[in-house]
Structure 1
Amino acid sequence: MSSDANSPSMPTVILDPEVTFVAREIGGHTSYMSHHEATGKFFQLGPEEYRVASLLDGVRDVPELFETLRSEGIEWSTEELAKFIAQLIKANLAVIKHGPPRCDASSLAAATTSSEIEDRASHWLEVPEPISDADTPPQSPPPLGAFATLLRYLPLMISQRIPLVRGDRIATVLERYLGRAFDASGIAVWMLLVASSLCLVYGHADSFASELRQMFDPALWPILLLVWIVAKLIHEAGHAIAAKHHGVRVGQVGIMFFLLAPLAYVDVTDAWKLRRRFQRVQIALGGVYFELAVASLAAWAWWFLPDGYSKHLAAQIFLIAGPATLLVNANPLLRLDGYYVLSDLTEIPNLRMHGRRQLGAWLQNIFFGIPQPRPWLVGWRVWFASLHAGCSIVFQMVWMGGLVLGVAMWARGLGILLAIAGVLMWFVIPTIRWTWKIWMLHPAERFGLNHYRRRLLFFASLLVCVFQQLGTVSSPFDRRVAVVVRFQDEQVARSPSDAFVESVFVQRSQFVEQGTLLMRLSDPELRIKRDQKADDLEIAELQSIQFRRQGELAKSAAYRENANALRRQVAELDHQISQLTVVALRSGYVLGSNVDSLPGRFVPAGYELLRVSDPHEMELLAVVAEHDVDAYEQVHKRGDSSRVRLRGGQTIHAKPASLRSRAYRTVMHPALAATAGGPLAVEPALDGSGEMRLVQPYLESVTKLDPITSTEVRAGQLGTMTIRDNRPLLSRIYNAVRTDFEKLGRS
């Protein structure tokens, strides 16, 4: 640690005079919250770190600082001291007063990564360099050239923060009128309002569920966008009012664009100055607090408003300000309001930083044998922070991955650029930096490798093999095909025209043989119409004969064509008249809810009169999407028996039948449509008939059930048939994600 007279002077580091410290008891231990007035940032330091920071007076050089710490019993290694000083300089809490030419402030500022800063800081402390070959050139991070300049603009492509006004004066005015909402009386009123609205929503859960399904109605998009903007403004106002209520200065108010989505923000960072944990939690939850109040008022408005547009809009306001804000803002796995509340409740400031640092060190120790640094947390907070880090990483991978895919599919060209920027910033660049850090952790040995590099290559090769297997080997999971139970060859008798039910010869649940007379209808107008057409036919035939005898062959041919058309109409009317007498076309039981009340009633054309079916003869109607056809055909060819799980928990087994060669977009069974609670998405038909059709074409197959199984199921039961998946696992995941986003896009 000593230097001779010919060596350059050692640097001294001075703490920025604008940094202030406040002692605070956190988790039974004394910590120090440092506040940098110029940047408005807060940092947490332990007692030892605070002591090191307090010694940075610009007089002691680094070796003297190290000796002072040792004399006070702080057993820090030179590497630990170097890293901590480098972190202070990187955070602009300390600056270099003077130093050797090879390590001045400008060279330190040119460092692009924390590892470079630590390396240069360790050089001030003369940490011995590992022994290496003399001919080995000094190693440095891989050159990026112009690409490094491009990387600096990646965060600007993902998010842009535009400050608009200083919010302290606005918050003062708002607090004057709404500040009492954070008093005990205001909290009591809020709890009563939210609890009553929850009871209201719970009692009408089905109605709100139907409102949720209509949330993506394109006709409501403009007004919903306005509602969402107003809700977010109310959210940020809640933070500002809560902060001002507790005497905290409110900073800038502005707008931030994250993946093109506009978001309001307000700076209440000074809330860290508050000693009472309840006050900090109240400020963090101020936005959710106000939004839930708005959602509760919207729920009650939905209850009182009459059916119509206003009632539907009130329900959408409830969904946006209530469940949506709880899912996003109150989620502790995202670095939003819920995260800061959890950080305060557990007394772990910088929870994500601590957790990810510990989790990363633990994984590096397991896979590479890198010694773990001294933990900054103690007790149960160590594993809690690590657990939170693991859960948040998994959630954010799914969350951010979904956002990237959604933006890429929605915004097309610009969205693809944003998706590439997001993948680079959140995955590619951190992975490259971490890999380079592991690669340069120790000097090269034989063949340019060392212990860490060999392990890194091994795990990289293993990862490539795993992805290769996931991309080629069939998925171990199953596919599910929608099915519905129905009667085999069921006869559905409908009225052929507008008619009166003259007589009914059977009763409900009566067993009838094929050919049994079931019902007779009466339609005098139909018979009159038939007789008129028959008279017109006779006249046309006579005129055709007359003109032929007179030699006027053109007129004769015209009347003959007219006679042929009338003959077809008479035949069709005769068929309708014959259908007025309803006969059983098969043996079975008579079904129908109104059979006994039909005599004497008027029924319109197409009205269902009754059904004839046998409950011992059931079949499964399976609807197969185009991307599942190959897997279904393979199961059918093998003759495997598939498991069918019906709603209600009932399970049966059946062999899939062959697919019919034609794909349909008509709804094969009314129970399958999403509008009736089924699994298939539907949309209005293009012909304007008002009927619904399937969003995408499906093929169908019909599997007959044996008599014993038929008696165990009910007609109309929905379920899923399980078939083996023939796709690679990666292909399955990609198709599932793409399908979900296509459904969202259609919505």
Structure 2
Amino acid sequence: MSGDSPRWHRVAALRPRLPRQLCVRRQQVRGETWFLLADTGARRSVRLNAAAYDIAARLDGRRSVQAVWEQLLEGRREPPTQEEVVDLLARLDAAGLLRFDGEAPRLRLDPGEAPAPGEESADGATARAPRSLLAWRLRLADPARLLDRLAPLQRVFSPAGAVLWLAAVAALLVLAAQHGPELVAHGREWLATPRYVLLALLAYLPLKLVHELAHGLAVRRWGGTVHDAGVTLVMGLPLPWMDASASTLFVRRRQRILVAAAGMMAELAVAAVALPLWLWLPDGPGRDLAFVLLFVAGVSTLVFNANPLQRLDGYHIATELLALPNLATRSRGWWLAQLRRHLLRREEEAEALRPTPGEAPWLAAYAPLSWLYGLAIVAWTVLWLGSVSLLLGVGSAVLLGWQMALRPLLALLGRLRTAAQARPSSARRWRRLALGSVAALVALLAVPLPRHALVQGVVWPPEQAQLRADEAGFVRELRVADGTEVPAGAVVLLLENPALQTQLERQDWRIAALEAELVQSLPGDGALPVPGAPERRSGDLQAELAAARHAQARLRERIAALAVRSRSAGRVALLQPQAGDLAGRWLAQGALVGQVLGGAPPTVRVALPESEADALAEAQPEAGVRLAAAPGRAHDARLVRDSLGAVARLPSAALSERHGGPVPTDPKDGDDLVPLRPVVLLDVQLDRPPAAGTARLGERAWVRLDLGFAPLGWRTVQAIWRGWSQRLNPQF
């Protein structure tokens, strides 16, 4: 890196100084000494390594920047370059830690070199004021007097308090493990009810107030000051906050960690009290409130506050434990420097944001993981709000999409553009990249691309090949062994149904009785005829006898149907080939027991949501099938038919999520055959039979459907439209 800087003439004569109220703390990070410079009055801070601090410490307002640099050149093997000095001045100025006797000059001569204000400032124990359309931070008061009155509570941050807290949390975990199923069942039944939602909203604000007071008391416990408190409006919901950033000046890392963890510790203490109350109290408002406190304290602590991917308590604890100060902003700065270096060919970026040993992997991983986690939260929020109201879903999608995806992307592009315009070579490269990106985006959205769908199904026989029980009964005898060749009409399985046999015997006796009564009703010798009576009685008996004989014939047909016969010639393939597995088993009417393989190519049946099935029907796709027995071999196939409408029952439990399939089923259905939403059944037939033994009934298969070509943009619009249409018309 060259020692001369093209910006040096603009700063050489300046006489900057550090603030008089500046507080300096020495910290050991990964074996290196770093210096934390904090302006206690303005609550601004920056972290410098030893070389940078050696420069900053010489800024006293009397010596010029030129004089400071010349002094640094004397007797040094590797003195700082002019560019490094200018960069440090820009960073200090961006953090608000430089003072000038006259008018403050503009040190950020190369926009994009220096980070945005606050980017290099050290993280406090609580997050900075969010710059978000979804969260507005309002300062309301100085909590010093309140914390003075609560000063006796600071004793909880002591060895005795730690022992009591650990005992309470241990009891909480034991009780939660013992009553886990009861807690889960109660939550599933009641949490979504309006009563519990209202209780949660009422309990959330006081619980978070306890959380923030715990942070403030922890800061005061070790000599820090807290002078700012207020409310953050997060999507309209007011949440209290208390500035605990004074903890960044604590020398001992254990104290900084305890300040960050104090809020979660307070919430876990509340949960440790709420769970026993819920177990002991009778049904009523008190017991409901105890469960809501337990749920809110547990979920907000474990899912949100303890998550290091958000700049909340868990983030500050993790950065202290891993010795990674200011990880979030430094990770974003690291990625910005890498993009400048590789996209704009700014080789000097290799010297920027020099990580200490072991920091580079964390800097590379944190920013993208945090961004992806934020997008996952956004997607979940949009889907939940969309299930409540279409208007809420669309509004949240637009607002959250702008805040979490589009706005950060535009900000990144803006900073890269600003950095590129500082030099002609970078500006030319930026223009080429911009034009190329626009062309690639247009091609991606407008150029037709091949599309396909991969769905899971099961091998399913054609109607004529299925062996089904036409009548319910117990298996009495297996007439044909598995794998035997049989002609059409051969008996494969014999069932017995004692109830049907009893009904037939009763019907035989009834017919005999009716025949005898009919004979007696006929006029005999010596009988005095009654006009019209014998004829009417004889006609009624004849009608009853005809109905009885018809019922008798139907019973005999049902008993004959207890013989399961093949409807086509071929080789028998049973679902349970062993005779011992079938003997004595009850088969319901219509139960599938096997198939007859006649040499025809097998069929795979798949179940799809109706919206996806409509797209397949429009495309008339070609198909390829891989069977579970031979997944390495693909078979050509074709779509032969569908169920001509949505059905409310799956052909096999293998298609349900519980058994590894793609379709969620009703938890109340013990057979796992009733889908939560109606599905369309599609049959895909292989063009040629596979090798012997590779297509058994019920075997899993994966079907790839080639859906032709369509632009990615149009496919995205179609998917969104189908999703919203399904929400608008859930009955379909």
Q: TM-score range by the shorter chain?
A: 0.5 to 0.7
Residue 481 of structure 1, CA deviation? 1.8
CA distance in 2, matches of 1:377, 1:661: 63
In structure 2, the residue matched to 1:623 is 607
User: Secondary structure, in 3 states, of the residue corresponding to 2:311?
Assistant: coil
Alpha-carbon contact 2:666-2:676 (below 8 Å) kept: yes
Residues matched between the structures, number: 635
Residue 509 of structure 1, CA deviation? 9.1
**Per-residue CA distance 1:215-246 (angstroms, 9 max, x = gap):** 98466644555566666556545544544554
In structure 1, the residue matched to 2:121 is none
Alpha-carbon contact 2:642-2:680 (below 8 Å) kept: no
Alignment map for 1:145-224 (pairs within 5 Å): 155=131, 157-164=133-140, 166-167=142-143, 169-170=146-147, 172=150, 175-176=153-154, 178-179=156-157, 183-186=161-164, 188-189=166-167, 192-193=170-171, 196=174, 217=192, 221-223=197-199
Tell whether 2:353 aligns with 1:349: no
Tell whether 2:350 aligns with 1:364: no
User: Secondary structure, in 3 states, of the residue corresponding to 1:666?
Assistant: coil
Alignment map for 1:558-597 (pairs within 5 Å): 581=559, 582-584=561-563, 586-587=565-566, 596=584
Residue 417 and residue 231 in structure 1: after superposition, are their counterparts in 2 closer, same or farther (change >3 A)? same
Q: Give the counterpart letter for 2:49 in structure 1.
A: G
CA distance in 1, matches of 2:301, 2:34: 33
Tell whether 2:18 aligns with 1:15: yes
CA distance in 2, matches of 1:741, 1:212: 29
CA distance in 1, matches of 2:695, 2:287: 43
Tell whether 2:445 aligns with 1:471: yes
Residue 370 of structure 1, CA deviation? 0.9
Structure 1 window deviating more from structure 2 (335-344 vs 68-77): it is 68-77
CA distance in 2, matches of 1:713, 1:182: 67
Alpha-carbon contact 1:108-1:117 (below 8 Å) kept: no
Residue 662 of structure 1, CA deviation? 1.2
Structure 1: runs of 5 or more not aligned: 2-6, 99-103, 120-152, 443-449, 496-500, 535-565, 599-606, 686-690
In structure 2, the residue matched to 1:28 is 31
Alpha-carbon contact 1:285-1:337 (below 8 Å) kept: yes
Of the candidates 379, 383, 387, which is equivalent to residue 402 of structure 1? 379
**Per-residue CA distance 1:611-647 (angstroms, 9 max, x = gap):** 4622666864211334544885699764x5312459x
* TM-score of the pair, normalised by structure 2: 0.67
Alpha-carbon contact 2:26-2:251 (below 8 Å) kept: no
In structure 2, the residue matched to 1:660 is 642
**Per-residue CA distance 1:453-493 (angstroms, 9 max, x = gap):** 33223323333344345436677886332424566534345
CA distance in 2, matches of 1:485, 1:352: 51
CA distance in 1, matches of 2:255, 2:308: 18
CA distance in 2, matches of 1:305, 1:412: 39
CA distance in 1, matches of 2:506, 2:137: 75
Residue 310 of structure 1, CA deviation? 11
Residue 664 of structure 1, CA deviation? 0.7
Residue 692 and residue 310 in structure 1: after superposition, are their counterparts in 2 closer, same or farther (change >3 A)? farther
In structure 2, the residue matched to 1:429 is 411
CA distance in 2, matches of 1:670, 1:307: 43
CA distance in 1, matches of 2:319, 2:223: 21
CA distance in 1, matches of 2:143, 2:452: 55
User: Secondary structure, in 3 states, of the residue corresponding to 1:59?
Assistant: coil
Residue 419 of structure 1, CA deviation? 3.8
Of the candidates 87, 95, 107, which is equivalent to residue 99 of structure 2? 95
User: Secondary structure, in 3 states, of the residue corresponding to 2:606?
Assistant: strand
Alpha-carbon contact 2:94-2:115 (below 8 Å) kept: no
Alpha-carbon contact 1:12-1:61 (below 8 Å) kept: yes
**Per-residue CA distance 1:481-531 (angstroms, 9 max, x = gap):** 242456653434567xxxxx9xx6825898781796743525699989x99
Of the candidates 603, 613, 624, which is equivalent to residue 641 of structure 1? 624
Tell whether 2:457 aligns with 1:483: yes
Alpha-carbon contact 1:666-1:693 (below 8 Å) kept: yes
Residue 660 of structure 1, CA deviation? 1.8
User: Secondary structure, in 3 states, of the residue corresponding to 2:641?
Assistant: coil
Q: Give the counterpart letter for 1:428 in structure 2.
A: L
User: Secondary structure, in 3 states, of the residue corresponding to 2:63?
Assistant: strand
Structure 1 window deviating more from structure 2 (154-163 vs 270-279): it is 154-163
Alpha-carbon contact 2:640-2:683 (below 8 Å) kept: yes
CA distance in 1, matches of 2:658, 2:288: 18
Alpha-carbon contact 2:35-2:49 (below 8 Å) kept: yes
Structure 1 window deviating more from structure 2 (192-201 vs 14-23): it is 192-201
Q: Give the counterpart letter for 1:459 in structure 2.
A: L
Alignment map for 1:37-186 (pairs within 5 Å): 37-71=40-74, 75-98=79-102, 104-105=103-104, 108=106, 155=131, 157-164=133-140, 166-167=142-143, 169-170=146-147, 172=150, 175-176=153-154, 178-179=156-157, 183-186=161-164
CA distance in 1, matches of 2:269, 2:93: 45
RMSD of equivalent CA atoms = 5.8
Residue 441 of structure 1, CA deviation? 1.8
CA distance in 1, matches of 2:684, 2:186: 35
Q: Give the counterpart letter for 2:626 in structure 1.
A: R
Residue 248 of structure 1, CA deviation? 3.8
CA distance in 1, matches of 2:280, 2:603: 47
Alpha-carbon contact 2:495-2:562 (below 8 Å) kept: yes
Q: Give the counterpart letter for 1:624 in structure 2.
A: L
Q: Give the counterpart letter for 2:412 in structure 1.
A: P
Residue 742 of structure 1, CA deviation? 9.5
Q: Give the counterpart letter for 1:608 in structure 2.
A: A
* Percent sequence identity over aligned pairs: 19
In structure 1, the residue matched to 2:422 is 441
Residue 68 and residue 36 in structure 1: after superposition, are their counterparts in 2 closer, same or farther (change >3 A)? same
Alpha-carbon contact 2:504-2:552 (below 8 Å) kept: no
